[in-house]
A and B are shown apart, each in its own frame.
Chain A
Amino acid sequence: MAKKIDSKTMSSPRRNPAAKLDEVMTGTTVFNIPFPKDLNTLKSMSPIVIKHPYFVEYVHSYGQDSPFFAGLANKKLLGTRCGKCNYTYATPRMHCTKCGKETKWVELPQEGRVHTFTTCYYGSEEFLKDTPFHLVLVEFDGVDTLFLARLIGVEGPEDITIGMKVRAKFRRNSQLKPTDVYFVPVA
């Protein structure tokens, strides 16, 4: 579909010598590779580059961290607390890194503050479709460590400040991923 052209900007030609087509990974099946008669010229041959897809379906267990994901599916944000030294983890771990003792599951407050943040305009291939997206590390009262999450409900980094209050929200249809919880600004 042709782009609508604003007649006011028609007066100056818009020419970009650096214009470039987006690279794609599609290609053609080759049935015949040219080959010289003189073997001594082979070292100057261009390299052959092939496309190799790689797809793996893992059977990935969350192991001892599984209750965290079950918690998200039930609109609960779970952390863990050390029974010995009381150190509390916003991102759960079943053994305390400080004293080595087993921790217990605790429910975290669903309101916290932005400890730090960023807005990603690019990302890994899997998340390119989500850009721009906002990442926050959330701090909670009475909890010693932080929690990494997406923040929505803001447009850009100028709308986010360190210390601003944020509230947890949960996907109704759980994906059993840490993104089942996300945060929004507190009104």
Chain B
Amino acid sequence: MVSGGVSKFEKARPDATFQKMVKEAFDYTMGDIPRLKPAMIDGSVASYFSDHFTRQLMAGIMATDYLGLCPKPNKRIEGGGATGGLCFQGAWEAVASGRMDVCLAFGFETMSHVQTWKGNEFIALASDVNFDYPVGGFYSGYYAMMVNRHMHEFGTTVEQLAMVSVKNHMNAYDNPYAQKRKRLTIQDVRNSEMVAYPLTLLDICVMSDGAAACVLASEEMAFKLTDRPVKITGVGTGTDMMRMSDRPHGEVILAPNEKKSDYKNLKYPGVHSFRAGRSAGLQAYKMAGITDPLRQIDFVELHDAYTSSEIQTYEDLALCKYGEGGKFVEEGHPFMPQIDYGLKLKTKGTIPVNPSGGLIACGHPVGATGLMQAVFAFWQIQGTIKKHYGSGELQLKKANRGLIHSHAGTGTYVTVSIMERGW
């Protein structure tokens, strides 16, 4: 990866169509790497989730022509919430296969074009419309059911969920791209409106308008374009049954740092864990040569559409064992070492998770989200957070290797990509 850009995520951008928002992210991306000229881009991959939000089919080509990238290759990639992560990997594949030397990944979503509850309906159409949607199609309800089972299996608490919200909102305080920059307490999270028990308004990400862009290049080309390229050293993509009710209750897929005896009575994945996340993580770890993720990865940008799914994802990514996700956040491991959260934390900064503020605070314009994570991770590894955020508060001292994680449905598509300092 040689450059990236993000439009500021907002609740609504009535001043711009999706093409214009993509153009903003693209221009930022190009502006950050003066040696890259549009003529050097061999093609692009478009990322947007729902045709219902755009009310426009083939929106990908409209963004492509707005950027002036015709008649070069372009295609659209779609996979629910993981659309951005899949698009990032699509651009990686284009370069890794040798088809392109330079490939642009761009993504957007315009969710403000319908009212919030209609938006929830559109999102819920990404669940089985014969058996799931008509019963009460509402993603927050699905995730609430999953976390209730997680709490039942492992004793996870609502306060532990709330700590994720406090962390991510507080991190976003210093991220000018974020939609919600708030200083919160655990009580604030618990006292906010109940959406689907036990998840409150502040446990859940919001809908947004926004766009993001990344440029990926071959190793040879990357060093011609920048002195500080970031190398993609591992990619993984996992899948699982669309219907939560169909998830098996079998044996845990073990990470290199786990033993069968760790999980004697656990039926896996059930509805408490994301098998696709585990699968994606292990593929990426194997490719990048990671055997001890907690120690070999410096930071993580993961898909925290819900505070609960962040905790579940710590476990899928083997940052801790299954069942220990609640304790992992309570002890402080995923917090930033340099930020005061107003919480008593035993150990801060073992592996900062969502230093940008994640989806919960940055917003979740679906097609842009996975690419936004790549951009924020790219800046962390480059050490250019201060340049791009205007303040270096969120720059990690050690950010040589990061993990980005994009997640769809109730864990139906999950991507994990490992990004490392390339120079």
Q: How many A-B residue pairs have CB under 8 A?
A: 125
A105 within 8 A of B: no
Residue of A nearest to B144 (CB): A118
Q: Are B149 and A162 in contact (CB under 8 A)?
A: yes
What's the least CB distance linking A187 to chain B, in Å?
24
Binding site for B on A (CB under 8 A): 23, 25, 47, 49, 52, 54, 62, 65, 89-91, 93, 97, 115-128, 130, 133, 135-137, 144-150, 156-157, 162, 177-179
CB contact under 8 A between A148 and B245, given known A125-B117, A162-B152, A178-B134: yes
Q: Are A117 and B148 in contact (CB under 8 A)?
A: yes
Once bound together, how far apart are the Cα atoms of A103 and B318, in whole Å?
A: 36
Would you mind naming 8 contact pairs between A and B with Cβ atoms under 8 Å apart?
Answer: A54-B55, A62-B130, A91-B131, A117-B148, A120-B138, A125-B117, A137-B271, A157-B198
B290 within 8 A of A: no
Once bound together, how far apart are the Cα atoms of A162 and B154, in whole Å?
A: 13
What's the least CB distance linking A48 to chain B, in Å?
9
Once bound together, how far apart are the Cα atoms of A160 and B89, in whole Å?
A: 42
Residue of B nearest to A149 (CB): B135
Q: Are B148 and A124 in contact (CB under 8 A)?
A: no
Find B245's partner among A47, A127, A128, A146 (CB 8 Å cutoff): A146
CB contact under 8 A between A145 and B120, given known A121-B195, A150-B135: no
Once bound together, how far apart are the Cα atoms of A89 and B194, in whole Å?
A: 33
Once bound together, how far apart are the Cα atoms of A144 and B267, in whole Å?
A: 12
B223 within 8 A of A: no
- Residues of B close to A150: CB separation below 8 A: 135-136
Residue of A nearest to B114 (CB): A125
Q: Are A162 and B148 in contact (CB under 8 A)?
A: yes
Known: A124-B118, A145-B247. 19 other contacts (CB 8 A): A54-B55, A117-B145, A120-B141, A121-B197, A122-B120, A123-B138, A125-B117, A125-B118, A125-B121, A135-B135, A135-B141, A135-B145, A137-B145, A144-B249, A146-B246, A147-B245, A148-B245, A150-B135, A162-B152
Residue of B nearest to A116 (CB): B149
- Residues of B close to A97: CB separation below 8 A: 241, 246
Q: Are B115 and A145 in contact (CB under 8 A)?
A: no
- Residues of A close to B144: CB separation below 8 A: 118, 120
Residues in B94-115 with C-beta less than 8 Å from chain A: 115
Find B271's partner among A126, A127, A146 (CB 8 Å cutoff): A146
Q: Are A146 and B141 in contact (CB under 8 A)?
A: no
Q: Are A146 and B136 in contact (CB under 8 A)?
A: no
- Please list the 4 inter-chain residue pairs (A to B) with the smallest Cβ-Cβ separation, ordered nearest first: A118-B144, A124-B121, A146-B245, A116-B149
Interface 1/0 per residue, B114-132 and A, CB below 8 Å: 0101101101100000111
Residue of A nearest to B117 (CB): A125
Residue of B nearest to A181 (CB): B135
- Residues of B close to A93: CB separation below 8 A: 246
- Residues of A close to B134: CB separation below 8 A: 177-179
Once bound together, how far apart are the Cα atoms of A122 and B196, in whole Å?
A: 7
B244 within 8 A of A: yes
- Residues of A close to B246: CB separation below 8 A: 89, 91, 93, 97, 145-146
B15 within 8 A of A: yes
